[in-house]
Amino acid sequence: MALLQYSGVKISALAGAVPANCITNYDYTANFPAKDVKDIVDRTGIKERRFAPAGMTASDLCFAAAEKLLVDNNIKREEIDVLLFVSQTPDYRMPATSVVLQNRLGLSKQTAAFDINLGCSAFIYALSAAYAYATQPNIRKVLVLDGETRSRVYHPKDRSTAFLFGDAGVAALIEKDPRVGTSYFSLNSDGSRAELIKIDAGGYRNPSTADTLKEKVIDEHGNIRTDEHGHMNGPDVFNFVLREIPKDLKRLQAFANKELSELDYYLFHQANDFMNSYLAKKLKLAPEKTPSSIAKFGNTSSVSIPITMVDQLQGQLSGSKNLLLCGFGVGMSWASAIIPTLDCKISELVELELRNDAL
């Protein structure tokens, strides 16, 4: 059972970046009737999303967030000993984007850098790894960069996914602080449900061919995508969340010997408002302690939890706070954590314009 705990480690600073390019979902009507679009937007609660323009990648968003974090907090770059990059939309198939970012951020060659490939659960997985490294005596600071251009993963003519996903990147700085108590993590996987959210082709199992790039009608509703776009079985994802998440939170509470009601904020993966609202109601969570950014950014996969913190908890994490983090999705993979924070400094959100000198 992957239950982990670490003491004396915290997220000391957090920064986020989104593309300046804002999509108004009610007006995203090029492929579907406006009435259908309105129904979808009303029910999912996703009013706006940010789309990275061609030439802007997840790592560009992370780079912008990282620069903001390093400058705002006067961080010495040579003190960053570990860099983790979290994404399923990396710059290249190789090398790892984390290594490219090590150079671009001007970090030392003695920095450990590697990528973590998971979706909506990934920020919590990455934090658990970052906390483990940070407890090491020779590790001073760990930088977690988590970015996604999920808007490019799904086809605009597939209504089951066309209105949900957006792009964002964050940077989180993890380091020791002996005044901070214990953080608790629960990490889970179920590969038997790999088909629920998937891109079928373009990897090495089903390599890219002319056929995998062809648009196809994929169901009786006339939805269209290629084999290299993502597909999602929404109902079974919802069933999965209702079955697994309450159980996992029960396990986590027992492990941490804490009740959810004692905590200050509940930060859930932002899937859609219908699902998140129902889950919060089922778990009897106070709405004022359950921040949401779904209306502004949509589902940004692994970035949705930390971008919600950047957007909604600005100035709220001074002093000592206790947070619940809970992410679930593609894999299926899910994770939850109860973490104490102490004076976590959150920078103003960066709105990134495309620049020609970007790498």
Partner 1 sequence: MNQQFLNSFREALEIEAEDDLNATDKFRDLEAWDSLARLSLIAMLDDEYAVEIEEDAFEKLDTVEDIFNYVQENRT
Chain contacts with partner 1 (rule: CB under 8 A): 39-40, 43, 159-160, 233-236, 238-239, 242-243, 274-275, 278, 282
Burial class (CB in 10 A: 0-12, 13-18, 19+), 47: middle
Catalytic residue positions, numbered: 120, 269, 299
Kindly state the smallest distance separating residue 281's Cβ from partner 1, in Å. 8
* Distance, CA of 273 to CA of 291 (rounded, Å): 12
Q: How many CA atoms lie within 13 A of 227 on its CB side?
A: 14
Closer to partner 1 by Cβ: residue 161 or 347:
161
Closer to partner 1 by Cβ: residue 47 or 104:
47
Q: How far is CA 59 from the centre of its chain?
A: 13
Kindly state the smallest distance separating residue 278's Cβ from partner 1, in Å. 5
* Distance, CA of 264 to CA of 119 (rounded, Å): 25
Sign of CA dihedral 150, 151, 157, 158: positive
In which element (H, E) is residue 204 found?
Answer: none
Closer to partner 1 by Cβ: residue 236 or 264:
236
Within 10 angstroms of residue 189's Cβ, the number of other Cβ atoms is: 15
* Residues composing the chain: 359
Closer to partner 1 by Cβ: residue 202 or 234:
234
Closer to partner 1 by Cβ: residue 59 or 272:
272
3-state helix, strand, coil in the chain (%, to 5): 35, 30, 40
Residue given tokens 């089922």 in the structure block: 282
Kindly state the smallest distance separating residue 338's Cβ from partner 1, in Å. 25
Kindly state the smallest distance separating residue 134's Cβ from partner 1, in Å. 39
Closer to partner 1 by Cβ: residue 26 or 274:
274
Kindly state the smallest distance separating residue 38's Cβ from partner 1, in Å. 12
In which element (H, E) is residue 8 found?
Answer: none
- CB–CB of 39/195 below 8 Å? no
- CB–CB of 146/126 below 8 Å? yes
Name the β-bridge partners of 112: 82
Kindly state the smallest distance separating residue 28's Cβ from partner 1, in Å. 16
- CB–CB of 271/196 below 8 Å? no
